[in-house]
Amino acid sequence: MKGALLTTFTFLFATFSINAMETFRIVTVEWPPYISKDLPEHGPFTKELKNKLEKKNIKLELVYRPWARAVKEARDGLHDAIFPEYYNESRAKDFFYTKALADGPVGLFAVENSRALEDETSLAGKRIGLVRGYVNTPIIDNDRSLIKDFAISDEDNIRKLCSGRVDMIFIDDHVLEFILDTMKRKGEQCPRV
């Protein structure tokens, strides 16, 4: 069982003018199937962004970091932008959000036949796997009574779910499918999610 939410991907600009730039340095995260060093053209989101920038004679340079570090480095001005990002009011104070480039389905996922999502109205007492620095839903991000277990990546969270260290994870559907397929090809076992 899952709760779904459609979110919008954008990228964030630090305050500056890009008109005089020849190279646009963007910090990002390994987030297959959308963005990855291992995907052709670094993934479909990167390809779309690169095409938009090339129309303005701007070259794209990507720097991959864990997400919390990417946000900090962008906030500190080490990069021209961070990409992709869900809208977040507190980050909008530090960054300019562009028009959305794409949408993606996200939700809570648990191991099949677990009792973690039996009652959709209550997450009380359930350990929820989240990625440090990611924007989730306002309910998850703002509810201090939830038991939040942070990881540095979606892949780490999936492994925690598979091993029973968390009751559920909050993740993009396509990212979950991609990582589970990759794990299966590598011979890693995981109960059905």
Reported as a single tens digit per residue, the pLDDT across 183-193 is 999 998 887 77
Q: How does 128-163 read in b/e, with b if 16+ C-beta sit within 10 Å?
A: bbbbeebbbbeebeeeeebebeebebbbbbbbbbbe
The span from the CA of 133 to the CA of 148, in Å, is: 12
Task: Give the domains, in start order, of the chain with CATH numbers.
Answer: 3-103 (3.40.190.10), 105-185 (3.40.190.10)
Whole-model pTM? 0.79
Model pLDDT for residues 132-165, shown as the tens digit of each residue: 999 898 889 988 889 999 999 999 999 999 999 9
The token duo for 26 is: 């963007």
